[in-house]
Amino acid sequence: MDAELEFAILSDATGKQLFEQVIKIMGLREVWYFGLQYTDTKGFLTWLKLDKKVSSQEVKQENPLQFKFRTKYYPEDVTEELIQDITINLFFLQVKEGILRDEIYCSPETAVLLASYSVQAKFGDHSPEIHRPGYLMSERHLPQRVLDQHELSKEQLEERIQIWHEEHRGMLKKDALLEYLKISQDLEMYGVSYFNIKNKKGTDLWLGVDALGLNIYEKEERLTPKIGFHWNEIRGISFSDKKFKIKPIDIKAPDFVFYTSRQRINKHIHQLCMGNHELYLRRRKTDTLEVQHIKAQAREETHQRQMERAQLETEKRKREAIEKERERVEKENQEMMMKLLQFEEQTKKFERDLKEQFERARILEEDRRRVEVEAARLEAERQEVLMAKEELARQAEDQRKHQEQLAAELAEYTAKFALLEEARRIKEEEASEWQNRAKEIQDDLEKTREELQHVMLSPVAAAPMAVPMSRAMMEGPLENDHDDQEENNSTYSAELHVEVIEDHCNEEECITEAEKNEHVQKQLMVTCLNLSKALLHKMTKNDILHNENVQAGRDKYNTLRQIGMGSTKQRTDEFETL
């Protein structure tokens, strides 16, 4: 998540010179959101003063000196204000770190949804072939609190992240990061710097400084503020030692006063108030030439990316069309090959059947010949019998005298003749039947030959093969200790210019991303339902407060509208009664 850069500076180099080196190498132009943070010699996190020498500030003496490039001020609406990709990415990294460390409270269902956008930004579209089970194990995606609260393994929770990751198909990295930040900016603790303060009664409270104004929280609850003052209600801020005074525009209202434990905390609050108020005014004015130029350049880059994306989508569609055509051709080829195999099988079957027909015809022909031979033999015998009968008849006339003697022989020959006649008749009927069968077989043989000839002459078309195309490219500075000694009894004050603010706070019209986007609302509801089934009831105080707010229909923006209602005097008096 973090990257280390090393710079060489002169001994008299100012904080601004070091800061400019950092932003130059990063290519960052929206510099007003960021600052360099370090740990001072007393162990406190401090912002580097740009107008002073680095060596004159209480930077912890290490070699090399250690600084962190961090977000110091937050925008009201990331979609409208963040321009450069590098700015969006830096905000994403810091907000994600705050959520994972539980510095920014995030409900479990929102944490899962945010993790899916983070995964989309890192891995792109989900692909089952590339993103195998366990592809999310290399990096932490959820706060440890969420893992501890649910009776689900890390793999099961990551499976739920994967389900939403699959839904983000086609979303570019910048769009995924913006969706992450759009949902994150609706979190109650997003962009708020907290300070321990006390009212005149000595009640321990929290002061929250953010892009919209100042909010007061009870000591045990940093989610829901109790009192709020917008920047357009404040005309001046000042502090003296541990006392901090805020002057409201309403001249009838008393000054809003609170106390801190140290003067350097007041200096920190003072600087944050000045910076946030300046940005509050800048948002309500016409963009400077620098911002206009940055936006124009960003629009040009966005247009270029859109053109490249459109070209990529066109190439992708062409590739998909070619792939579908190739699959269709391959399918047709397979079908043709199957038909060809069927034709070959049918041809072989016809050949086998033809051979069988030829064999049966040969056998029948042999049988026919045998019948003909037998018929000829019988005919010859019949002729012999006839001749013998005639001979006997002739001899009968001559041998009438021997009739009694030859009567027995004649009867014998007559009986034999009758038997032969019956045999001949039977043989003739068999011969006629065999001739009819031979004729039918001959006809079947001729028909089979014609069918085989027709099959052999039928052409088999080969479909053309398509060649697939190649894949297209797709918080404020703490003063030095000697400053405390020299300025212990000094007073700092600043008048905030309010005459340029002509409009009311546009936060009164703000709604959360879930209210704007029904799809996000549906995603959160489904994820909440799934996670609630595995809840171990190890809920933190923030979880309980968040659930109470949800059940009461309260979100960040209607809470801010509610605590800003009433006169400034009423809210100041309410602060003193806490």
Closest CA relative to residue 46, chosen from 485, 488, 475 = 475
Is residue 409 scored above 90 in pLDDT? no
Q: Which 8-state DSSP code applies to residue 30?
A: -
- Sorted by sequence, the CB contacts under 8 Å of residue 237 that are 6+ apart come out as 244, 245, 246, 247, 270, 273, 274, 493, 494, 496
Is residue 480 scored above 50 in pLDDT? no
pLDDT in tens, 173-185: 989 999 999 999 9
Q: Which 8-state DSSP code applies to residue 59?
A: B
pLDDT at residue 378, rounded to an integer:
92
Q: Determine if residue 157 is labeled as part of a ligand binding site.
A: no
Burial of 109-127, coded b for 16+ CB within 10 Å and e otherwise, reads bbbbbbbbbbbbbebbebe
pLDDT in tens, 118-163: 999 998 888 888 888 878 887 888 898 888 887 777 788 888 888 8
Q: Determine if residue 50 is labeled as part of a ligand binding site.
A: yes
Side chain identity, residue 102 = D
Contact 559, 187 (CB under 8 A): no
pLDDT at residue 471, rounded to an integer:
35
- Sorted by sequence, the CB contacts under 8 Å of residue 75 that are 6+ apart come out as 33, 81, 82, 211, 279, 283
For range 399-405, the mean pLDDT = 72
Contact 66, 39 (CB under 8 A): yes
Instruction: State the Cα torsion 497-498-499-501 to the nearest 10°.
Output: 130
User: Mapping DSSP to helix (H, G, I), strand (E, B) and coil, where does residue 150 land?
Assistant: strand
Is residue 504 scored above 60 in pLDDT? no
Give the whole-angstrom CA distance, residue 557 versus residue 77: 12
For range 27-35, the mean pLDDT = 91
For range 58-66, the mean pLDDT = 84
Q: What percent of the chain has pLDDT over 70?
A: 87
Burial of 523-543, coded b for 16+ CB within 10 Å and e otherwise, reads bbebbbebbeeeeeeeeeebb
Give the whole-angstrom CA distance, residue 573 versus residue 578: 9
Burial of 282-311, coded b for 16+ CB within 10 Å and e otherwise, reads eeeeeeeeebeebeeebeeeeeeeeeeeee
Is residue 550 scored above 50 in pLDDT? yes
> Which residue is associated with the tokens 């110091």?
72
Q: Determine if residue 354 is labeled as part of a ligand binding site.
A: no
User: Mapping DSSP to helix (H, G, I), strand (E, B) and coil, where does residue 34 land?
Assistant: strand
CB atoms within 10 A of CB 341: 10
- Element holding 47 (H helix, E strand): strand 45-47
pLDDT in tens, 287-340: 888 888 888 888 888 888 888 878 888 888 899 899 999 999 999 999 999 999
